[in-house]
Structure 1
Amino acid sequence: MKESKNNRENKWFFVNQAWLVKNVRFFLFLAALAILYIYNGHHAEKAIKDINKTSKEMKDLQYEFKMIRKDWMFMTKQSEVVKAVEPFGIKEIKEPPMTLEDTIIKQIKTSK
């Protein structure tokens, strides 16, 4: 009984050792796949962090743009422009501007 069990163990040891030597390339391939899988996970996490950082920065810039545009719209209102140029002695015109007409062109238009 001990001989057959011992024989089996020796046989399996030989098969296992031969099988391991035979499949070394496959195990190296599996190790390379595992390393690639780990790298891919780290790369994806880094990309997600970059996307989140960029989207936060974009939201901040959009807010800043809206605030600047609001201030600019307020400053370009006619009443605000009048207040801004008043210290320089420039006053708002109350009468509409005069239009100049070319009399020669006017005569040509009426003669047609």
Structure 2
Amino acid sequence: MEENIKTSGKAPGRKADWRRFLNHQWVVENIPFFLFLAVLAVLYIYNGHYEDKITRKIGATEKHIKELEYEYKTIKSEVIFRSKASELAKAVEPLGLRELTTAPVLLDSIAAAKR
């Protein structure tokens, strides 16, 4: 018998070691662990999908912010252009308003002159 052990190079009973892990009783005892591993796998997959969704939302938000920034700059330059004195005079001319050509009269000086 010792000769068989030496010639095979394996300890007796070594061949059947893996079979003890695959019996019905071992599987039933480890069901909670398998369920735990399954929950971890589901959470891992969910986390990946959630990250993809958040990345897409961030990209869309960044694009929207850039569009709003361009719109802001365009409107700001328009307002600055229209608030120039020459452009303002052109805009109110149809209303009958025009720019003063004489210096304004100070009411305090008129009141002081009447005293």
Instruction: Give the C-alpha shift of residue 15 in structure 1.
Output: 4.2
User: Does 1:75 pair with 2:82?
Assistant: yes
User: Does 1:60 pair with 2:81?
Assistant: no
The separation in 2 between residues aligned to 1:15 and 1:68, in whole angstroms, is 73
Q: CA RMSD in A?
A: 2.5
User: Does 1:16 pair with 2:22?
Assistant: yes
Residue 63 of structure 1 aligns with an amino acid whose one-letter code is Y
TM-score (norm 1): 0.75
Q: Mind listing any 5+ residue stretches in structure 2 that lack a counterpart?
A: 5-14
Name the count of aligned residue pairs. 99
The separation in 1 between residues aligned to 2:83 and 2:20, in whole angstroms, is 91
Residue 53 of structure 1 aligns with an amino acid whose one-letter code is A
TM-score (norm 2): 0.73
Residue 35 of structure 2 aligns with an amino acid whose one-letter code is L
Q: Mind listing any 5+ residue stretches in structure 1 that lack a counterpart?
A: 2-7, 104-112
Instruction: Give the C-alpha shift of residue 96 in structure 1.
Output: 2.5
Residue 37 of structure 1 aligns with an amino acid whose one-letter code is Y
Q: Which one has a larger percent helix, Structure 1 or Structure 2? A: 1
